[in-house]
Amino acid sequence: MSFVKLENVGKTYGSINVLKDLNLRVDKHEVVCLIGPSGCGKSTMLRCINGLESIQAGSIFVGDLEVSSPIVDINAVRRRVGMVFQHFNLFPHMTAIENVMVAQLRVLGRDKRAARDMAFELLSRVGLSKKIDKYPEALSGGEQQRVAIARTLAMSPQALLLDEITSALDPELVGEVLEIVRELANEGMTMLLATHEMSFAREVATRVCFVAEGGIYEEGPAEKILSNPDRPKTQAFLRRLVESHRL
C-alpha cells in the first residue's frame, strides 16, 4: 500500500507550471530517488508533500491524511513525514542537543528529560555524542547536516523527505552524511530524496524517477534508469553527467 501518494498534482508560480499532472506513489520501506536538472521541480514536489507549498490541482496523501485538504492538521502530517533540507536551518542560539530537543518539547509535548535522552541517543547515532553542547557555528557543514537529520528523526517519522541534503557541503563531507542515509535505508525507512549523487542513488534506491516537463518523465529500477534509460531526455541528462565526470 502506498504511504505517499500524489494524484494529478498541479503547482504554479504565477504563469509558470512547475508541476503538471504529476502522479507518484511511494510504498512503505521504498527508497525513491528523484533526479533531474536544477529547476525541474524536485524540491517543489517535496515541499508540497510536507505542506510547505500549496498545490492548485490534484491531491496529495500521506497515509490516510490528505495534505492538500484545507482542513488537514499539518502538524499531524509532519509527524508522519519528516523533511531534511539542503540548508541545515539549525537555530544558531541553540546547542546541537537543544536543536534536537526543541520540536520534541513544543510539538510532541515530551518532558525535558525524555527529550534530552532521545536527543542524546540520536546525536550519538550520527556520531556527534562529543559535540552535543556545541553551537552550529562551531560545527562543520557535515556535522550540522547530521544534527538536522537527528532533529528530524527525533519526531519518530514514518517516512523522510530529503532535499539535496549534500549539495551545500564540501565534497569531503558528503560521505559522512550519505552514510547516515544509507543506514536508514538498510533499516527500512521509507524515503523520497532529491539528489545529484548518482552513484548513491544507484546504491540505495529501489526506484529512480527522472523529473521533467512538470512530472515523472521516466521511472524504474535504479540500475535500469541510470544505465539504460528508454526516453531521450533521460538519456541526454545522463550523457551530460558522464561528460562532466559526475556519473
Q: Which CATH class is domain 2-89+160-243?
A: alpha beta
pTM of the prediction? 0.93
Task: Name the pLDDT band for 71 (thresholds 50, 70, 90).
Answer: very high
Rounded mean pLDDT of 71-87?
93
Stretch among 52-61, 170-179, 193-202, 221-230 having the lowest mean pLDDT: 170-179
> Which residues are CB-contacts of 30 (< 8 A; sequence separation ≥ 6)?
190, 191, 206, 207
Tell which residue, 6, 134, 110, has the closest CA to residue 59.
6
Task: Give the confidence band of 171 by pLDDT, cuts at 50, 70, 90.
Answer: confident
Residue 183's pLDDT is 94
Nearest CA-CA partner of 185 in 206, 156, 164: 206
* Residue 86's pLDDT band (cuts 50, 70, 90): confident
Give the C-alpha separation, 152 to 121, whole Å.
Answer: 13
Residue that is written with C-alpha cell 525524555 in the block? 114
Say whether pLDDT at 246 is over 80. Answer: no
Residue among 9, 15, 106, 14 nearest 59 (CA): 9
Tens digit of each residue's pLDDT (9 = 90 or more) over 184-194: 999 999 999 99
